[in-house]
Chain A
Amino acid sequence: AQSVTQLGSHVSVSEGALVLLRCNYSSSVPPYLFWYVQYPNQGLQLLLKYTSAATLVKGINGFEAEFKKSETSFHLTKPSAHMSDAAEYFCAVIKDSSYKLIFGSGTRLLVRP
């Protein structure tokens, strides 16, 4: 069965520093993976998704993620953090061959001035 694990419930970076949010997946079949962002008291917004077309996926707001099968990882990165990036980030995987998303527990990103 598919699942995702997000390492670190909180990540703190300085403004302008590299952002790295970790996600590892478990899947017996090629996975479809997603990153969503949630601002306080709002719904989720799709940042990017991996659908096997390319291992390096570029998303909105300068974020990107690289699919590494050998490491079963799909980490989210951004070269330079901005104050507006402070939010909670969720990694998700499609469950089996269904349309259901399985979410990780989330990582809250804090950006220090």
Chain B
Amino acid sequence: DGGITQSPKYLFRKEGQNVTLSCEQNLNHDAMYWYRQDPGQGLRLIYYSQIVNDFQKGDIAEGYSVSREKKESFPLTVTSAQKNPTAFYLCASSTQEGEATDTQYFGPGTRLTVL
């Protein structure tokens, strides 16, 4: 089945540690995205990538880093510089056919808790 997988589903981290969240897609999509979701708020864009080896900051990139070495993979690292990392993280992907209506498909999410 085609889709987006995120791992792990739950992640616990001690303060001061970096942690990497995995996102893999087999939809052959060019574009991938990372969002953060907090209770009572909508999703906020952290980083996005429209093509391999290229990515751009979203609205809340501080304290996060990404890489896009393969089309299928877009891992997100939450660094110790992120002041409040406890949140639900969602990865998405979409085609890039030149239309603003390309639909974004979402993974199941990773819930990160800082202890």
Residues of A near any B CB (own CB < 8 A): 9, 32, 34, 36, 41-46, 49, 51, 90, 92, 94, 97-101, 103-106
Please tell me if B75 contacts chain A, counting CB pairs below 8 Å: no
Contact residues on B (Cβ < 8 Å of other chain), bracket: 20 to 34
Which residue of chain B is the closest to A6 with respect to CB atoms? B42
Contact with A along B55-75 (1 / 0, CB 8 A): 000100000000000000000
Q: Are B42 and A106 in contact, with the CB atoms below 8 A?
A: yes
Known A99-B50, A103-B43, A106-B42; judge A43-B100 contact (CB<8 A): no
6 nearest CB pairs, A to B: A103-B42, A43-B106, A44-B106, A51-B101, A103-B43, A43-B108
Residues of chain A contacted by B43 (CB below 8 angstroms): 44, 90, 101, 103
A42 to B90, CA, bound (A): 9
Question: CA–CA, A103 to B92, complex, Å?
Answer: 14
Please tell me if the beta carbons of A49 and B100 are within 8 angstroms of each other in the complex.
no
A9 cross-chain contacts in B, Cβ below 8 A:
40
A46 touches B101 (CB 8 A): no
* Other A-B pairs, 17, CB within 8 Å; known A94-B100, A105-B42: A34-B103, A36-B106, A42-B109, A43-B4, A43-B90, A44-B43, A44-B92, A46-B105, A51-B101, A90-B43, A94-B101, A98-B100, A99-B50, A99-B102, A101-B43, A103-B43, A103-B44
